[in-house]
Amino acid sequence: MYLDTDEKKEIFAKHSPDKTAKDTGSSESQIALFTARITHLTQHLKINKHDYHSRVGLMRLVGKRRKMLDYLQRKDINRYRAIIAELGIRK
């Protein structure tokens, strides 16, 4: 896969609220991982325009990330705003 274990740990350590690499379940960590995967797939689809199966996977990932962001917005607006600013995601 395009992300090895060390890169995932780095993402989790950077974006988790506790700033630990073992916090893989927090919303911020999951959103950051989804964002990395979305970025990778977007670059892939720029090169391979007719890869429709990957396009479907990308749309599913975007939907998952959107649901996670909506959940975080309902639960804690400050954490939501922080992760949006950190990752540069626009709504």
Q: Which tens digit of pLDDT belongs to each residue from 36-90?
A: 999 999 999 999 999 999 999 999 999 999 999 999 999 999 999 999 999 999 7
Q: Kindly list the structural domains of the chain, giving each domain's residue range(s) and its CATH number in brackets, ordered by start.
A: 5-87 (1.10.287.10)
Residues near 60 by Cβ (< 8 Å), separated by ≥ 6? none
Is the pTM for the entire model greater than 0.75?
yes
Residues near 17 by Cβ (< 8 Å), separated by ≥ 6? 23, 26, 28, 79
pLDDT beyond 70 at 8: yes
Give pLDDT, residue 1. Answer: 58
